[in-house]
A and B are shown apart, each in its own frame.
Chain A
Amino acid sequence: MNRIVAPAGIFLLLVLGACEREERAFRADPIATETEEKIALVPLSPGSGPPVEHRTGKGKEYEDNAYHVAQGKRLYTWFNCNGCHSNGGGGSGPPLMDDRWIYGGQIENIVQTIREGRPNGMPSFRGKVPDDQIWELAAYVRSMSGNVAKDVAPGRNDDMHPRPAENREPDSPPVAGGSIPPSAEMPQ
């Protein structure tokens, strides 16, 4: 008798593990306060030693959260990112679904790129997009090149798929490089 009851009890206890659900943080806290990310775009630095870098680690809670990535996907079209970057393949802006990153492909780099803007057309969204939404967008951009966990990346579109869903993207770790499409280069 005990041979059946004990494993059954353990099994039932294990089922309790399913009660924990992913947290959905609707309300950013503290309210829309910008974190200080120090990222270095070149390995050179005056004096001795490499340039000082400081990453707060806030990106982790966005990259590992399916709700944030899904919100980022929604905001990507709402804020017209696809106007220049298309569905990730790039247009007048560089592609986002490949492994080449002009300004670095880590989430903090992407956040800084959205906050500050970049030469040749990328506008600065600081003040126009609340900071937590910038993190959501950056987390989604990471998922476009397969750089977030498969169970976090969006699995399907609400409308027609222009390309495979984000959770089917092959892993492509960021590589420095990339180039600006000629159409986006400022006339010299």
Chain B
Amino acid sequence: MHRRLACVFLILPLGACQGWQSALDTHGPAASALEALFWTFLSVLGFVWVLTMGAVALSLRRRRPEGEDPLVTNPRRESRMGWTISGAVALTVVTVLTLTGLSYASQKHLFEKRDDVLTIKVTGHQWWWQVDYEDSQADKRFTTANEIHIPVGEPVLLKLESSDVIHSFWVPSLTGKMDLIPGRQNTLQIQADREGSYRGQCAEFCGWQHAHMGMLIVARPKAEFDGWRDNQIRDATAPQTDERKRGEQIFFSKPCVMCHQVRGTSAGGKVAPDLTHVGSRQYIAAGTLPTTRGNIAAWIVDPQSIKPGAQMPVIKIEPDELDPLVSYLEGLK
């Protein structure tokens, strides 16, 4: 009975090997290289461990026959030991040189710079991600938040910055970690080989809501990506229904406009996530809640119960104002 329980318990962690945020379920070259390294290390070190443990067990069982005086030197044996030690030293030098060469070759491949790649600036804030798509043409630049779309099979260059404390960009299925450090810019190249949504997470403790600082990377074919980008570049469409028109008015008369931006309107705050196309994103509050009517309403009414300490304040809102406001935000596709 106990043995069966132990087996079940040992199998359970295997569940962690799959999913949209797993370093062992990789979909990009950088993460695959890390995964290969992980399995190589695991098998080599595992083998060495078993070997060592075997030797220890053996030496506990068998004893060397007594009789030899350890102070008497044997010239043949001495020279044999000399050879062994110089062999080990030479082997160490060769190993270090080989590893240096290998590391250089693989890093050269990983950090290769290309000029024509899609460049995205990611800025860490407590506790969300600002995403600026860069382009040499000014009318192709735009800002969004917490959701990064990339074309499949192409390298994408990320410029990582921070506005307050140190954060760390980590999408386990696509890449290793890279810190976002205030006052400097780190770069990271990512690539997704397969279509899909991959979850990312801040990997450097950055304060109270560090655990709720998630993001989504959506990899899709080039044509679909271009369509998405054209839509994101557009200003918000003016509301058509009466309810949404009222919602827009409520949005402008409340503290929302002090921090949030809706492009194409007078709301121009730049210190909180850009809401121009918030309805098209899959999650709100940095990967905390799926974008649904109920969740948007809950987040507006009481953000401090969902993410205590977040910079979104509790605002005064009348019960009959909530529905139109949610309709307005939900419709910003």
Residues of A at under 8 Å CB distance from B?
24, 26-28, 31-33, 74, 78-79, 127-133, 158-159
Q: Interface 1/0s, chain B 276-314, versus A by CB < 8 A?
A: 000000000000000000000000001011001111011
Interface residue SS majority, chain B:
loop
Q: In the complex, are the beta carbons of B253 and A132 less than 8 A apart? A: no
Chain B nearest Cβ from A93, distance in angstroms: 18
- A130-B313 contact given A158-B164, A158-B182, CB 8 Å threshold: yes
User: Taking each of B254, B305, B316, which has the highest tally of chain A beta carbons within 10 Å of its own beta carbon?
Assistant: B316
CA distance A130 to B315 in the complex (A): 6
- A79-B309 contact given A27-B304, A31-B316, A32-B316, CB 8 Å threshold: no
- A28-B271 contact given A128-B257, A128-B258, CB 8 Å threshold: no
B259 sits at the interface (CB 8 A): yes
Q: In the complex, are the beta carbons of A129 and B309 less than 8 A apart? A: no
CA distance A26 to B269 in the complex (A): 22
B196 sits at the interface (CB 8 A): no
Q: In the complex, are the beta carbons of B305 and A27 less than 8 A apart? A: yes
CA distance A132 to B309 in the complex (A): 14
Give the contacting residue for A130; candidates B182, B302, B305, B316; CB below 8 A.
B316
Chain B nearest Cβ from A153, distance in angstroms: 19
CA distance A27 to B316 in the complex (A): 12
Q: In the complex, are the beta carbons of B313 and A28 less than 8 A apart? A: yes
In the complex, which residues of chain A have a beta carbon less than 8 angstroms from the beta carbon of B302?
Answer: 27
- A33-B255 contact given A24-B309, A26-B309, CB 8 Å threshold: no
Q: In the complex, are the beta carbons of B304 and A129 less than 8 A apart? A: no
CA distance A26 to B314 in the complex (A): 9
Pairs across A and B, CB under 8 Å, 29 listed: A24-B309, A26-B308, A26-B310, A27-B302, A27-B308, A27-B314, A31-B314, A31-B316, A32-B314, A32-B316, A33-B316, A74-B311, A78-B259, A78-B271, A127-B253, A127-B254, A128-B255, A128-B257, A128-B258, A129-B255, A129-B258, A130-B255, A130-B313, A130-B315, A132-B313, A133-B255, A133-B313, A158-B164, A159-B183
CA distance A159 to B165 in the complex (A): 11
CA distance A28 to B308 in the complex (A): 12
**13 other A-B residue contacts (CB within 8 Å) besides A27-B304, A32-B315, A127-B253:** A24-B309, A27-B302, A27-B305, A28-B314, A31-B316, A32-B313, A33-B316, A78-B271, A79-B258, A129-B255, A130-B255, A132-B313, A133-B313
In the complex, which residues of chain A have a beta carbon less than 8 angstroms from the beta carbon of B304?
Answer: 26-27
CA distance A3 to B30 in the complex (A): 65
CA distance A79 to B259 in the complex (A): 8
In the complex, which residues of chain A have a beta carbon less than 8 angstroms from the beta carbon of B308?
Answer: 26-27
Chain B nearest Cβ from A185, distance in angstroms: 27
Which 7 residue pairs spanning A and B have beta carbons closest together?
A: A27-B304, A32-B316, A78-B271, A130-B313, A26-B304, A26-B308, A26-B309
User: Taking each of A24, A26, A32, A158, which has the highest tally of chain B beta carbons within 10 Å of its own beta carbon?
Assistant: A26
Closest to B270 in A: A78
In the complex, which residues of chain A have a beta carbon less than 8 angstroms from the beta carbon of B254?
Answer: 127-128
In the complex, which residues of chain B have a beta carbon less than 8 angstroms from the beta carbon of A127?
Answer: 253-255
CA distance A129 to B258 in the complex (A): 8
